[in-house]
Amino acid sequence: MNSMLHNNDPYDNNFDLIAKSLKYAEKFRDKTFVIKFSGKVLSNVEMLESVLQDIILLKEKAGINAVVLHGASEQISKVMDELGLNSTFVDGLRVTDKNTLKIVIGVLHDINSKIVWRINQLGGRAIGFSGVSGNVFMAKKRNEELGFVGTISEVNTGIISLIIERGYIPVIFSIGSDGNGGSLNINADEGAGMLASALHADKLIIISDVLGLMKNLNDDGSLIREITFDGCAHLLEGETISGGMLPKIKGCMSAIEGGVGSAHIIGLKNHALLEEIFTDQGSGTMIIR
Amino acid sequence: MNSMLHNNDPYDNNFDLIAKSLKYAEKFRDKTFVIKFSGKVLSNVEMLESVLQDIILLKEKAGINAVVLHGASEQISKVMDELGLNSTFVDGLRVTDKNTLKIVIGVLHDINSKIVWRINQLGGRAIGFSGVSGNVFMAKKRNEELGFVGTISEVNTGIISLIIERGYIPVIFSIGSDGNGGSLNINADEGAGMLASALHADKLIIISDVLGLMKNLNDDGSLIREITFDGCAHLLEGETISGGMLPKIKGCMSAIEGGVGSAHIIGLKNHALLEEIFTDQGSGTMIIR
Amino acid sequence: MNSMLHNNDPYDNNFDLIAKSLKYAEKFRDKTFVIKFSGKVLSNVEMLESVLQDIILLKEKAGINAVVLHGASEQISKVMDELGLNSTFVDGLRVTDKNTLKIVIGVLHDINSKIVWRINQLGGRAIGFSGVSGNVFMAKKRNEELGFVGTISEVNTGIISLIIERGYIPVIFSIGSDGNGGSLNINADEGAGMLASALHADKLIIISDVLGLMKNLNDDGSLIREITFDGCAHLLEGETISGGMLPKIKGCMSAIEGGVGSAHIIGLKNHALLEEIFTDQGSGTMIIR
Amino acid sequence: MNSMLHNNDPYDNNFDLIAKSLKYAEKFRDKTFVIKFSGKVLSNVEMLESVLQDIILLKEKAGINAVVLHGASEQISKVMDELGLNSTFVDGLRVTDKNTLKIVIGVLHDINSKIVWRINQLGGRAIGFSGVSGNVFMAKKRNEELGFVGTISEVNTGIISLIIERGYIPVIFSIGSDGNGGSLNINADEGAGMLASALHADKLIIISDVLGLMKNLNDDGSLIREITFDGCAHLLEGETISGGMLPKIKGCMSAIEGGVGSAHIIGLKNHALLEEIFTDQGSGTMIIR
Amino acid sequence: MNSMLHNNDPYDNNFDLIAKSLKYAEKFRDKTFVIKFSGKVLSNVEMLESVLQDIILLKEKAGINAVVLHGASEQISKVMDELGLNSTFVDGLRVTDKNTLKIVIGVLHDINSKIVWRINQLGGRAIGFSGVSGNVFMAKKRNEELGFVGTISEVNTGIISLIIERGYIPVIFSIGSDGNGGSLNINADEGAGMLASALHADKLIIISDVLGLMKNLNDDGSLIREITFDGCAHLLEGETISGGMLPKIKGCMSAIEGGVGSAHIIGLKNHALLEEIFTDQGSGTMIIR
Amino acid sequence: MNSMLHNNDPYDNNFDLIAKSLKYAEKFRDKTFVIKFSGKVLSNVEMLESVLQDIILLKEKAGINAVVLHGASEQISKVMDELGLNSTFVDGLRVTDKNTLKIVIGVLHDINSKIVWRINQLGGRAIGFSGVSGNVFMAKKRNEELGFVGTISEVNTGIISLIIERGYIPVIFSIGSDGNGGSLNINADEGAGMLASALHADKLIIISDVLGLMKNLNDDGSLIREITFDGCAHLLEGETISGGMLPKIKGCMSAIEGGVGSAHIIGLKNHALLEEIFTDQGSGTMIIR
């Protein structure tokens, strides 16, 4: 009977996983996690479903206050195209004139509705709204060339707390208020980092289309499991970080700087969210102080 | 000194007005009023300011739970025009294809932000959001010809109550959810009537560009001060009601039918809101059971 | 339509009055006002009714904690006369022997009952009691010549707060306890000033038989609308104040000194109370720090 | 050692008394007792002190809600006399004209203040007030010949409960309101019986100048220890009850009829109150259903 | 990337286990489980540790109200032996005279202290006590031959609820009160079944020295994973159940009859408790309605 | 009638006793008393009944939190004897080997059950338990010669407070935990003193088989009514204290040192408890700071 006590036993691994799940669930109960989607997630139906199921599990079974933030870059370009309008980018940011801004908002609102509807259909309870509602994101124009594109100057979390207290998952689309009754296009990764800080979140989790932070994008084995804020700063100096990953790292670093426990970049793997949260090894890259 | 007791005395009128104000304020304290704007209000800066000041006074000084609903028809046509897109109407309703819907929402969001910002600037506290947030308005497509245009099938007031409880004025733009993750263009008068019912409001007040319900639009003296639900029904049969007034009357009638204490159509007069609420005579037309 | 926006418009005055009423009502909600009657009010049925109606409105509609204090000088002299007893005054104070004191109390109790009954009949809710109940007024004998006449040494508000908390208007007749089981005749204006201080009242309002503080009693135009504590002190030095007004001013000054927001002397005009409280100009004289 | 267990042992009597005191104290905790004084008590300083000490003990140590009611018949006659006015009685009731009433009230107020002062001085906490305050006693004129003399028609206990809740002993002087702003002279025994009923009191205790109800006033041994309501009714028919005892018995009977647990008539013996309440035998006469 | 979605993937098994753990943890939060130990567990140090760790995890991490009941049969025989006293059994029950009973209790108290101490040492919080404390178990003598041996007649859970509410794990040793100040030896399996019913427990879990209910004790493959109450009744009729398993099945059946959700018999496997509770397949035998 | 006021009057003694009872009852309401029994009490049925009745009266009628602690020395020796085992004592302490300890506990548990049962039968509400439950008594071995005999090192009152809060009388048998899962025999007088300190008790009362602390055991008149801590210390030095009284005095002194208001040693007199608590003179010896 003693053999049962050996820890290499597959049974024991299971019990360890159960025990870990219960311990992490207890640890994170009533904590806040900000989860940011890559636009890519939204166009992959199966993956979206896996992500939303995990979020509902976090909220309903583990008592974690999940807060979702998303953009819709791909979808905006498509609508612009259909309307015969050009999409122009400067330094990766969309040049946004007065009427383009309205299309941007219209598309974000559309995507937001779809996410909320899907969560509700899967058994969760979500409420979606604009980042302008309750002045969640206050922003300042970057420059005249970009038009109505802003950088975030202030985050207000009142309406989010309200919705969390009532047991709902807030789902926010990334748009900001210019403080004078107008709106500004903002970057969702930047927003996620600042939102996590403002909410005194325990974790920021950015879902990306790569496995995490990698030394070599073509080599899965080069995935960095854990890195410090200073490690990230060093990486950024080295200029080895490719374009799309840049705002993600900066978002994570601003979260860490703002007091968030840890920031995570994870990939489009099935149930990557659960793996990242409830196992010791995790799934992608964890950035810590 | 006895002469002071005569009621025709201008002093006495003042005291009567003070006493009436206090009595109505007491009567309406903690009650809910739904206030709907005509698009015209939004383009008249002075008038908008008078309306918003009154709403703030209702909220902050008289303890009335004001709920604001608005459309943006004029402004949408203007943006469509600027983008080189045609506005087509069937029976007074805008034909709305997939991408037009995004522009409709973008413009509504823009107008909403401006109203909320102005209330806050005038010393009030408002939070703006879409009629899709929290499924405030659930709607069904009217027909294929009109495209993404809906008629309201259900109203959910959870998020509105949440915002009221925290002391804010909810400002909602009139768009509805199709229950499958999509949105539908809806009529704001129809929405206001159903919203007032769902909130068990004491009053629905629709601000119009005419003084109220009039027998002869060219004769201010023909203003109907008070009319019953049945009186309205009789008027509708007589076909003497002009186009724009029709959805307003129907909105008011649906509110009355839904148990709202009284519905009011008032004009673009200065402080018409206060006059309608705090004096016996009122300013426009009051529709009662 | 622009003409409606001119502020000279009589309509606008009305709206201003409504707005002012709501603002003052909000400002004074849950605040305490001490209101002291002149004996003259009590003998003018119409005026008494106007005063009591205003007090009920303050309490029931504006949520102001009205506290009423009254004397009964005229009526006491009349009863003394009927009983064949002499009324003797020294420096305006009634010489009060042991048995005169019992008549003084008997008459005050009688007047008190009548005021309370009338408030209740007009729809208000009042409870009347002696200034000795709960040791509201503690007093010390002034001198042997005057007999049982006291000057107030201490005010206890416990029983008054009790009655206010239950939603009643306390109506107190001005008599004090000598701290040894006996009672002392006290001046109602003096009592009102000290009571307002002890209750941390927002306002003390003394209703007089003249319009307020006047430079020339025969010229209504000489009414002083507003005066500071120091201004009052200066007036008192000038000896231009007539006899009956003296204790009123002193009562007001002691209230101001005790931290009361403002003290008011108003006349026997119809609804003078409402005018004084809910309009910017007021009706009589306002004394401020 | 067994001898200690014999119940005739004087020690055992002590322990029995301790146990009884604790049991009765527990039984009566938070119950209400109405205690009525005979005028005679008030003129016997030592006896008054014994009564008040007992009342304070009841209130402060045993948690019993003591409510005190008193008249002042003797003292009123004395003041009338001093003022050169005649006291006229019809069937034992004082003929009371308009001004006599004021003297009656003045004297009651004086006696009330003295009782309250003495309780406070002995370490208790009391608040005194008129039976007209809060409409405790509502009365109807008996007949024109007696003038302002009433029989009680209604009892309101609101203000009494208020004072009890705050930990004070209410001390009420027996005067009633005529419902039209006037006052009426009422009998204190009658008032005590009706007050005990209205307060759902557990006990009514009337302190008299004889030991209790006696078959023969000259024979202390003829004291009736316990008698039922029907027994009392039988006694009244027999006409053996002397004048002063009559209203006391009627007061007790009305209390019993009104649901009071028991009514007691006790004499001017030292600590008669404690003896009546905390021993099985009691001190005077107990009237039960 | 699709390959990640296949459910045979070892990763997916992990996620499934995490999701199951969270779901079961949520389902059982604040529910009550009665856990009964076999005497064998107590003599196997490693196994005892595994069981106690699991119980602490249930309590502290999953919020389950674990209640522990135990006997000490083996250990009692050993002490009897050491004291030179004979252990006599009739139908598997220990013949218990007056002084044997004291030894039984002394040993149970000793074992109880050891369990409680070990739980506390492992980071849990437990309080141990006798089944006589608070009359948890009331019992009736079975017959004179057996002496002080009882069958349970009533269960009182007051003291257990008290201890649970304060966040402790109650650990009870199986002894009962005879209702006359004496104690009776009772069977722990019988006690566990009745205790689970009385506590409205969600689960009764009996830890045995075999894997569960087996068709053939020598064939692990013959383990019955799930069986109904009626299935058990059928088994009992068949007389295929060996001696020690009999009271366990009867205890489980009485729990099911008493409304407990499910009863479990599990073996001395490492972490068998967690496996039984947090996986779909479980570890031993589950008995359901 | 004046004669009634003389204080030598037997009546007055009664009233004094009533007043004292009420005053002490008020003073001790919600206070905690630790009461320790001598083994002798337990073998005298009549005396036990008198003690338990008094305790119930304290708890139910006077609101005192009585906590009972007891040993069972006599009864243990008897069982040892019956089992053919020797009782050996060193310095008055029982030499306790591993199995003797189990008998000690078994007997204490038996006596405990009997006391609890009798309290409940007499109308009180008690819960009995071991001093090891909730680690009430933590102890250290005295020396190897004595075996499992401990001196108390720490007292934990959590479970006692729990039971008091629910309105029960805790009845504890004096056994301690060695902090390693084992138990130790402890002295009940020592336990009572330390328990009273830990509970911040107002009184410790030790019931003995002599009247109290006496200068000459054969002379009841030599009873010391009141003595200070220092007085006790002096007595101990004098070596005039006989064996059994020694641990009692030490227990009392440790209580006083621990902040307990007063410690009492009283005899086996009927209702000695009530006499000690509710009279000024008391029954035995009171030890004060």
Among all chains, which residue has been given the structure tokens 């979808």?
Answer: A75
Q: How many CB atoms lie within 10 A of CB F61?
A: 18
Residue of E nearest to A60 (CA): E26
Among all chains, which residue has been given the structure tokens 């389902």?
Answer: E27
How far is E15 from A210, CA to CA, in rounded Å? 20
Residue of F nearest to D269 (CA): F4
Chain D residues touching C130 at Cβ < 8 A: 109, 129-130
- Return the CA Rg of chain C: 20
Confidence of residue F91 (pLDDT cuts 50, 70, 90): confident
pLDDT, residue D3, reads: 30
Residue of C nearest to B47 (CA): C5
Chain E neighbours (≥3 Cβ pairs under 8 A) are A, F
Confidence of residue B4 (pLDDT cuts 50, 70, 90): very low
**Three state DSSP letters for F170-214:** EEEECEEECCCCCEEECCHHHHHHHHHHHCCCCEEEEECCCCCCE
For chain F, the domain total comes to 1
In degrees, rounded to 5, the angle at the alpha carbon of residue E56 between the alpha carbons of residues E53 and E60 is 140
Locate F79 and state its tokens.
Answer: 């069982």
What residues of chain F, 177 to 196, have a C-beta less than 8 Å from chain E?
Answer: 177, 179-183
Chain A residues touching B114 at Cβ < 8 A: 181-182
Residue C11 belongs to some domain of the structure = no
Max mean pLDDT among B83-92, B216-225, E152-161, F92-101 falls in E152-161
Residue of A nearest to B80 (CA): A99
Annotate D46-83 with b (16+ C-beta within 10 A) or e (fewer). ebbebbbbbbbbbbbbbbbbbbbbbbbbebbbebbeeb
What's the whole-number average pLDDT of chain F?
A: 91
Determine the residue among F49, F86, F109, F177 to mutate to test chain E binding: the one whose Cβ has the most chain E Cβ atoms within 10 Å.
F109
Confidence of residue D13 (pLDDT cuts 50, 70, 90): low
pLDDT, residue E169, reads: 98
Least confident of A149-153, E12-16, E103-107, E185-189: E12-16
Q: Residues B136, B159: contact at Cβ < 8 Å?
A: yes
- Residue range E198-218: mean pLDDT, rounded: 92
Chain F residues touching E128 at Cβ < 8 A: 132-133
Residue of B nearest to C13 (CA): B14
Residue E14 belongs to some domain of the structure = no
pLDDT, residue C7, reads: 38
Chain B neighbours (≥3 Cβ pairs under 8 A) are A, C
Convert the pLDDT of each residue in E49-62 to its tens digit.
Answer: 999 999 999 999 99
Residue C96 belongs to some domain of the structure = yes
E4 to chain A nearest CA, in Å? Answer: 6
CA distances from C205 to C51, C260, C265, C275 (A): 12, 11, 6, 12
Cβ–Cβ below 8 Å for C15 and B57: no
How far is B208 from A142, CA to CA, in rounded Å? 40
Give the torsion sign (CA, B122, B124, B125, B131): negative
Residue F23 belongs to some domain of the structure = no
What is the secondary structure of D225-256 as a DSSP string? Answer: SEEEHHHHHHHHHHT-S-TTHHHHHHHHHHHH
Residue C16 belongs to some domain of the structure = no
pLDDT, residue F262, reads: 97
Chain centre distance of CA B63: 19
Convert the pLDDT of each residue in D98-154 to its tens digit.
Answer: 999 999 999 999 999 999 999 999 999 999 999 999 999 999 999 999 999 999 999
Q: Residues F124, F55: contact at Cβ < 8 Å?
A: yes
What is the crossing angle of helices D188-198 and D245-257, to 10°?
10
Beta strands in chain D (DSSP E): 32-37, 65-70, 89-90, 93-94, 126-130, 137-141, 150-155, 169-173, 175-177, 183-185, 203-207, 226-228, 262-266, 285-288
C180 to chain D nearest CA, in Å? Answer: 7
What is the secondary structure of E28-76 as a DSSP string? Answer: HTT-EEEEEE-HHHHH-HHHHHHHHHHHHHHHHTS--EEEEEE--HHHH
B42 versus E162: the higher-pLDDT residue is: E162
Cβ–Cβ below 8 Å for E109 and F130: yes
pLDDT, residue F270, reads: 83
Residue E78 belongs to some domain of the structure = yes
pTM: 0.86
Chain C neighbours (≥3 Cβ pairs under 8 A) are B, D
Confidence of residue C42 (pLDDT cuts 50, 70, 90): confident
What residues of chain A, 243 to 272, have a C-beta less than 8 Å from chain E?
Answer: 268-271
pLDDT, residue E217, reads: 80
Convert the pLDDT of each residue in F222-257 to its tens digit.
Answer: 899 999 999 999 999 887 787 789 999 999 999 999
How far is B227 from B231, CA to CA, in rounded Å? 6
Confidence of residue B1 (pLDDT cuts 50, 70, 90): very low
What's the whole-number average pLDDT of chain B?
A: 91
Q: Residues A188, A172: contact at Cβ < 8 Å?
A: no
**What SS3 state is found at C66?**
strand
pLDDT, residue E266, reads: 94
How far is B132 from A171, CA to CA, in rounded Å? 12
Chain centre distance of CA B81: 27
Q: Is the pLDDT of residue E8 over 60?
A: no
Convert the pLDDT of each residue in D43-91 to its tens digit.
Answer: 888 888 989 999 999 999 999 999 999 999 889 999 999 999 989 999 8
Among all chains, which residue has been given the structure tokens 């990230």?
Answer: A232
Residue F256 belongs to some domain of the structure = yes
How far is F254 from F232, CA to CA, in rounded Å? 11
- CB nearest E181 (choices: F101, F117, F163): F117
How far is C278 from C17, CA to CA, in rounded Å? 8
**What SS3 state is found at F105?**
helix
A114 to chain B nearest CA, in Å? Answer: 4
Among all chains, which residue has been given the structure tokens 């969270």?
Answer: E22
Residue of D nearest to F14 (CA): D17
Q: Please report, for the domain that includes residue B194, its CATH number.
A: 3.40.1160.10
**Burial classification of residue B280, based on how many CB atoms lie within 10 Å of its CB (0-12 exposed, 13-18 middle, 19 or more buried):** exposed
Q: Is the pLDDT of residue D7 over 60?
A: no
Whether the CB of D83 is below 8 Å from some CB of chain C: the reply is: yes
Cβ–Cβ below 8 Å for E274 and A19: yes
Question: What is the pLDDT tens value at each position of chain A, 289 positions in all?
Answer: 233 333 344 556 677 888 889 999 999 999 999 999 866 787 888 888 999 999 999 999 999 999 999 999 889 999 999 999 988 999 889 999 999 999 999 999 999 999 999 999 999 999 999 999 999 999 999 999 999 999 999 999 999 999 999 999 999 999 999 999 999 999 999 999 999 999 999 999 999 988 899 888 888 888 999 999 999 999 998 877 877 899 999 999 999 999 999 999 998 888 889 989 998 888 899 999 9
In this structure, what DSSP letter does residue A168 have? P
Q: Residues D152, D176: contact at Cβ < 8 Å?
A: yes
Convert the pLDDT of each residue in F176-227 to its tens digit.
Answer: 999 999 999 999 999 999 999 999 999 999 999 888 998 888 888 889 999 9
Residue D1 belongs to some domain of the structure = no
Torsions phi, psi of C122, nearest 5?
Answer: -85, 5
Confidence of residue D5 (pLDDT cuts 50, 70, 90): very low
Among all chains, which residue has been given the structure tokens 């025969």?
Answer: C218
How far is E193 from E179, CA to CA, in rounded Å? 21
Residue of F nearest to E168 (CA): F134
Nearest to B160 by CA among B147, B150, B169: B169
| Separation of first and last alpha carbons in chain E | 45
Q: Is the pLDDT of residue C226 over 90?
A: yes
Cβ–Cβ below 8 Å for E278 and A18: yes
**What SS3 state is found at C270?**
coil
Chain B residues touching A180 at Cβ < 8 A: 117
How far is C218 from B277, CA to CA, in rounded Å? 43
In this structure, what DSSP letter does residue E140 have? E
How far is D277 from D31, CA to CA, in rounded Å? 12
pLDDT, residue C282, reads: 87
Pairing of strands C126-130, C169-173: parallel
Q: Which domain holds residue D204?
A: 30-288
Q: How many CB atoms lie within 10 A of CB E86?
A: 9
Q: Which of E9-15's residues contact partners 24+ apart within 8 Å by CB, and which partners?
A: E11/A270, E11/A271, E11/A275, E12/A270, E12/A271, E14/A17, E14/A275, E14/A279, E15/A270, E15/A271, E15/A274, E15/A275
Q: By percentage, how much of chain F surpasses pLDDT 70?
A: 95
Annotate A229-251 with b (16+ C-beta within 10 A) or e (fewer). beebeebeeeeebeeebebbbbb
Whether the CB of B117 is below 8 Å from some CB of chain A: the reply is: yes
What is the crossing angle of helices A45-60 and A98-121, to 10°?
60
Q: Is the pLDDT of residue D9 over 50?
A: no
